[in-house]
Amino acid sequence: MASRYPVSLVWLRRDLRLDDHVALFHAARRSDRVVCAFVLDPPLLRGSRVGAPIVQFFFDSLRVLRKRLRALGSDLALLEGDFAGELIALARRTNAGAVFYNADYDPSAIARDLQVTQRLRNAGFDVHAFTDHVYFGADDVVQDSGKPYTVYTPYRRRWNARFETAPHPPVPSEAAARDKVLPREAIGATREIPRPEDFGHASSAAYPRAGLTDAHSLLQQFLDSGATDYAGARNIPALPGTSRLSPHLRAGTIGIRTVVHAAARLRDRAAQHDGAREAHRCAYNIEAWLGELVWRDFYQQLLAHHPRVAHEPFAEAAKEIAYAHDPAGYAAWCDGRTGYPIVDAAMIQLNTMGWMHNRLRMIVASFLTKHLLTDYHDGERYFEQHLADADLAANNGGWQWSASTGTDAAPYFRVFNPTLQGKTFDPDGTFVRAMIPALRNLPPKYVHEPWKLAPLLQAELGCVIGRHYPAPIVDHAFARQRALDVYGAAMSKMRRRDGGPLSRS
Ligand SMILES: Cc1cc2nc3c(=O)[nH]c(=O)nc-3n(C[C@H](O)[C@H](O)[C@H](O)COP(=O)(O)OP(=O)(O)OC[C@H]3O[C@@H](n4cnc5c(N)ncnc54)[C@H](O)[C@@H]3O)c2cc1C
């Protein structure tokens, strides 16, 4: 029979909530009392793998969580430093017998968890790990042979089949743990929630805010008004066409089961109640959104089964790409000074708001890796430091897809034309105008190619190229051909060597 504990610790990491929380649910079932703990990691917080937006989001989320736990008469035990040492000290102080936590597929987290688990066990504590961050765990959706999928479409088919046939995992409410939380006095004094500044990060009111935009209302708002138009609106950065849930899903301020079940319920309701055509349209749109949540699971299982993608391209041939060394181009890309309005507006959105629209992420990633022929690792790192939703699996997956170095990636000859992308997805220039004041007065015809305006008109409209707004740093036709040549050469070199493709698409 499974052991019972007078007290258990729940070690929170990317699951900063009390409902739909698998480890907390099991801890509460098997213990008389539970203590929620989070351990701050100063080297990580001060290091180059995180940036201000995600640090602020996590600290805000911890503050909200502490407030909730205090309202329940308990507290968030906020610890700092040596994970195992801190958890062992807290466990001894509270007479806990076990530590429960939700697994993380990031290879550095796996290494940490192995080490912490070993030390906890050596110190006499039981340790229990659960799958929580993803809807289906890395080994739940695999091929008949047992091999993991490396291509999205069959993965999704199998994911859907499992979703339709297997019993849905329960979504425990906060009530499952509410009566079990250890009183605050028994936890003792614990440290204040730090400010981002304490770890060298500047806070900003423009970054996604955990406390202000409560995840559940964001989900409800999206399901009420955005989800049924998702397939079209999702590509238009000027529209609120996507859920903006990504920082919440990253920090775990909302559980993935809550999100998936709410979307599936809406899809099923739409299919039953509306007219046939409308029902089909709604169901199609919600299905498209569910497909993005499946991409999230897909990249997580890819990282779990192929941890090497964290530091090298999935496709062997990509190791042969002769990247250009272009620090000036990279700096212009980072700052939003490439002279291509949609690229610059996207980077300004990232730099100022700590979030970027998905279509724009694809455009800027294509621009950096193809137009500037820069190694995708540089862009991946920059995103990591500037996104509130920065997540190794999704970020690496997105970059390797865009750079054509990943599994099931964009084919290497797909080089986005940034002007055409702007014209297609921001047709009247609403988005670029909102981000770049110098373009504010330009008519739609020129807003994505301001260099085509006659010099006299440039002066009249306050957008003199080279003065108010840069000229394109690279010519599109030249850059496209260079990318095709260089990527093509890498492919032939690889094919000559052992026949491996650059991309399977
Ligand atoms: C180069 C590049 C880098 C990216 N880096 C990240 C990252 O660090 N963190 C991150 O969460 N997403 C990343 N994405 C995926 C995607 O851009 C964001 O998840 C999405 O823009 C978040 O906005 P949303 O919450 O409104 O998404 P919605 O469209 O409402 O989608 C709902 C949720 O599905 C998930 N999702 C959506 N698209 C993807 C995708 N392509 N891959 C994986 N999950 C997805 C997210 O959790 C998202 O919140 C990246 C994409 C690219 C092309």
* 395 within domain boundaries: yes
Nearest CA to ligand 1 atom 37: 292
Same domain, 164 and 17: no
Quick check: is 184 in a domain?
no
200 domain-assigned? no
Same domain? For 328 and 222 the reply is no
Band the pLDDT of 151: cuts 50, 70, 90: very high
CATH number at residue 298: 1.25.40.80
Note the pLDDT tens digit of each residue in 281-313: 888 999 999 999 999 999 999 999 999 999 999
Q: Containing domain of residue 493, as a range?
A: 316-498
Q: Which residue's CA is minimally distant from atom 49 of ligand 1?
A: 246
Distance CA 95, CA 353 (A): 44
State whether 11 and 67 are in the same domain: yes
Interatomic CA distance for residues 450 and 241, integer angstroms = 27
> DSSP H helical segments within 166-275, as ranges?
175-178, 184-187, 215-225, 230-233, 246-251, 256-273
- Can you tell me which atom of ligand 1 is nearest the CA of 390? 8
Q: Specify the pLDDT at position 501.
A: 56
Let me know whether 221 and 323 are in one domain: no
Are residues 141 and 75 part of one domain?
A: no
**Tell me: the pLDDT tens digits for 434-486?**
999 999 999 999 999 999 999 999 999 999 999 999 999 999 999 999 999 99
Reduce the DSSP state of residue 35 to 3 states and report it.
strand
Give the closest residue (by CA) to ligand 1 atom 2: 398
Q: Residues enclosing ligand 1, CB less than 6 A?
A: 234, 242-246, 249-250, 292-293, 295-296, 299, 358, 361-362, 365, 383, 387, 389-391, 394-395, 397-399, 402
**Same domain, residue pair 493 and 384:** yes
Q: Which atom of ligand 1 is nearest to the CA of 298?
A: 43
The Cα 18–Cα 497 span in angstroms is 53
Give, using CA atoms, the residue closest to atom 31 of ligand 1. Answer: 292
Single pTM value for the model: 0.96
- Take residue 297 and report the two structure tokens written for it: 């699971």
Beta pairing partners, 443: none
Instruction: Residue count of the chain, please give it.
Output: 505
**Whether residue 404 is found in the same domain as residue 345:** yes
Q: Which of 342, 367, 354 is nearest to 434 (CA)?
A: 342
> What is the distance between the alpha carbons of residues 326 and 334, in angstroms, rounded to a whole number?
12
DSSP 429-478: -HHHHHH-GGGTT--HHHHT-GGGS-HHHHHHTT--BTTTBPPPSS-HHH
In this predicted structure, the answer to whether residue 369 has a pLDDT above a threshold of 80 is yes
Same domain assignment for residues 165 and 261: yes
- Ligand 1 pocket test: which of 49, 105, 246, 248 has the largest number of ligand atoms within 8 Å of its C-beta? 246
Same domain? 271 vs 223:
yes
Q: Which residue's alpha carbon is nearest to atom 22 within ligand 1?
A: 246
**Distance, CA 19 to ligand 1 centroid (Å)?**
23
